[in-house]
Amino acid sequence: MRKVGVIYRRELASYFRSPIAYVVIAAFLSLTGYFFSVTLFATRLAEMRFTFANLSTAVLFIAPILTVKALVDERRSGTDELLFTAPLSVPAIVVGKYLAAVTIYGLMLLVTGIFPAVLAQLGDPDFGPVISGYLGLLLLGSALLAAGIFASSLTHDTMVAGMVGFVMMLFLWSFSWLSNALPGRWGEMAARLALLERFEPFLRGVVDTVDILFYLSCVFVFLFLAVRVVDRRRWS
Amino acid sequence: MISVQNVTKRYGDTVGVQDVSFEVGEGEILGFLGPNGAGKTTTMRVITGYHPPTSGTVTVAGYDIVTQSHEAKRHLGYLPENPPLYADMTVAEYLHFVAALKEVPRKERRGQIDEIVDMLNLGPVYQRLIRNISKGYRQRVGLAQALVGRPPVLILDEPTVGLDPKQIHEVRQVIKSLGGRHTIILSSHILPEVSMVCQRIAIINKGRIVAVDHPETLSSRLRGNTRVIARIEGDPERVREAMLKIDGVLSVAHHQPETGPDGAARYEIEVEGKKDVRRNLFFAMAAIEAPILELRSVEMSLEDVFLQLTTDEAVEAGDESTAGEEEVVAGA
């Protein structure tokens, strides 16, 4: 795992070598800036709740774009032959790439810090829910990005990986809607497994260790699956 | 340095390579020869640990590629068929990235990369994006990548593909100069390349090794009948008749359309075993007053050997060639 850093640095730099990082960050910021301004003018409230809710939707579209190329490109360009024949473990490759995607996402969130700053100028926002909201967004995004990395491990076609990733994330995100359709315990379980359901408390300023652990276990499971898929393909 | 024991690799139901075994000694250059799709790349991918074998074992520098993969891979440089390049990096960035992957100490990276860049004449493209450099340079950057970390074992899958003749010559010289210090397996479907650069040749066909030997032994052991080519003036029918009477001549092929400007026809004479019929041919032709304008005997080239070993028809054609094949395998 010592090589995570080597992979991470290359991957992070590659986001900025292509227009992808710039375009995605610009799109994300213009969208969220628009949401924020509109909400602020409409409600005239010094709070981030609605903006965060909108952001959580935007993440759903951003995550597949940030992760789709991660493992697909290695296979397409044949560079996987370099990585798999170098003294380097598969988990190091997957984790390095994942952390690079999380870093880009973190940078995007960092820039949206301008919104609470504006609120602080205009009014007197409660910073508790703002901080917990950012933590929630970071965790939600981390889970979705891990799912995206997993999708990227499944195929060598960028479009297919993107589509699979997006649909998978949409299901994970909206799992809680099943709770009304399924009876009793099953419905309850569906609600507990939904990424979005876990995000709600963060908006209200409630940080529960269980929710944090839930997101982190999502990350672990998806990265583990991605490693297994990559490994399995080499053996078959 | 490299030991391949009974390696079989299956992809689902299709067999990539079957029961392949061979050894490569320290400092040796082994040529891996076979038609496209014979299993060259598969074998190389197994040796480098890209694809673990379905059964059998591979050790590189004494380390098992599956159970001690980290150590084994540290001793390995690999140039795949398509150089594994990141188009969005410059050559310099790329080689430094590879050096970090290969655990070259930070202090040594600069010096080592400079040395490799010099050796492969990569100076002019060193600061350029890999996306923008020519195919010849890409191939050489791929070779440079394999050399980073000074691995004692080099696996090169068709290293001269896509190069122009001058570059091919240069790269061959580089590979030749690496022999001795490095143990090299080099695959190719170009015979002269392999016989020029390599000390030993393994011929692979349909996933099986059909022969492993030195280039000279390989061609002499497999030499069945000799051929003599002659250009002779005179009535082709009479000439043929006279030729067939000579002791040792098996058949005569006469190529009428290949009659030269001097009016002489070209004959291909197949001779039994290693008999030399040229003297008898001279006297026989003198007797019927048909002047010989040209006469030469043709040895079976490595190319013929290769074709004989890898073409079904040739192997099935007669017992002789099959026997030759077994002999070589046994001698390997």
Number of alpha carbons in the 13 Å side-chain half-sphere of residue A160: 8
- Gap from A69 CA to chain B (nearest CA, Å): 13
B102: chain A residues, CB-CB within 8 Å: 86-87
Identify whether residues B198 and B175 lie together within a single domain.
Answer: yes
Query: A–B: how many Cβ contacts below 8 A?
Result: 72
Which one of B171, B191, B220 terminates a domain? B220
Question: Does position B313 have pLDDT exceeding 50, yes or no?
Answer: no
Binary contact (A81, B50; C-beta < 8 A): yes
Residue B133 lies in a domain: no
Residue B132 lies in a domain: no
Q: Which pLDDT score, from 0 to 100, does residue A95 have?
A: 97
Of A81, A93, A231, which to mutate for an interface test with B (greatest number of B Cβ within 10 Å)? A81
Chain A touched by B86 (CB under 8 Å): yes
B61: chain A residues, CB-CB within 8 Å: none
Sorted by sequence, the CB contacts under 8 Å of residue B111 that are 6+ apart come out as: none
pLDDT in tens, A6-37: 999 999 999 998 888 899 999 999 989 998 99
Q: Quote the number of domains for chain A.
A: 1
Read off the CATH number of the domain in which B8 is found. 3.40.50.300
**Residues B293-307: b if buried by 16+ CB within 10 A, e if exposed:** eebeeeebebebbbe
Do residues A200 and A136 touch, judged by C-beta distance below 8 A? Answer: no
Structural domain that includes position A106: 4-235
Rounded Cα–Cα distance for residues A203 and B185 (Å): 61
A87: chain B residues, CB-CB within 8 Å: 69-71, 73-74, 101-103
Residues 45-84 of A with CB under 8 A from B: 77-84
Identify whether residues B186 and B236 lie together within a single domain.
Answer: no
Identify whether residues B207 and B262 lie together within a single domain.
Answer: no
Q: Which pLDDT score, from 0 to 100, does residue A193 have?
A: 79
Residues 46-85 of B with CB under 8 A from A: 48-52, 69-71, 73-74, 76, 78, 80, 82-85
Identify whether residues B165 and B191 lie together within a single domain.
Answer: yes
Question: Does position B323 have pLDDT exceeding 50, yes or no?
Answer: no
Number of alpha carbons in the 13 Å side-chain half-sphere of residue A61: 10
Rounded Cα–Cα distance for residues B147 and B282 (Å): 57
Say which of B11, B50, B97 has its CB closest to residue A10: B97
* Whole-Å CA distances, A159 to A64, A169, A171, A190, B227: 10, 15, 18, 29, 59
The CA radius of gyration of chain A, in Å to the nearest whole number, is 19
- The percent of residues in chain A predicted with pLDDT above 90, rounded, is 58
Identify whether residues B159 and B183 lie together within a single domain.
Answer: yes
Report ipTM for this prediction: 0.90
Rounded Cα–Cα distance for residues B186 and B176 (Å): 11
Identify whether residues B191 and B248 lie together within a single domain.
Answer: no
Rounded Cα–Cα distance for residues A145 and A65 (Å): 9
Residue B269 lies in a domain: yes
In DSSP terms, B298 is beta-bridged to B227
Q: Name the residue with tokens 């691995």.
A: B151
Indicate the pTM of the whole model.
0.80
Binary contact (A14, B86; C-beta < 8 A): yes
Rounded Cα–Cα distance for residues A56 and B164 (Å): 55
A88: chain B residues, CB-CB within 8 Å: 73, 101
B80: chain A residues, CB-CB within 8 Å: 78, 81-82
Number of alpha carbons in the 13 Å side-chain half-sphere of residue A96: 23
Do residues A101 and A20 touch, judged by C-beta distance below 8 A? Answer: no
Residue B56 lies in a domain: yes
Strand-strand pairing, B29-33 and B183-188 = parallel
Structural domain that includes position B20: 2-75+151-220
- Gap from B320 CA to chain A (nearest CA, Å): 40
pLDDT in tens, B73-120: 999 999 998 999 999 999 999 999 999 999 999 999 999 999 999 998
Chain B touched by A86 (CB under 8 Å): yes
Identify whether residues B200 and B285 lie together within a single domain.
Answer: no
Lowest-pLDDT range, B13-17, B46-50, B71-75? B13-17
Q: DSSP letter for B256, please.
A: G
Do residues B144 and B122 touch, judged by C-beta distance below 8 A? Answer: yes
Identify whether residues B291 and B230 lie together within a single domain.
Answer: yes
Residue B108 lies in a domain: no
Identify whether residues B161 and B283 lie together within a single domain.
Answer: no
Chain A touched by B320 (CB under 8 Å): no
Phi/psi of residue A49, nearest 5 degrees = -55, -50
Residue B241 lies in a domain: yes
Considering chain A, what is the average pLDDT of its residues? 90
Q: Quote the number of domains for chain B.
A: 2
Do residues B164 and B136 touch, judged by C-beta distance below 8 A? Answer: yes
- Gap from B306 CA to chain A (nearest CA, Å): 29
Select the more confidently predicted residue: A45 or B30: B30
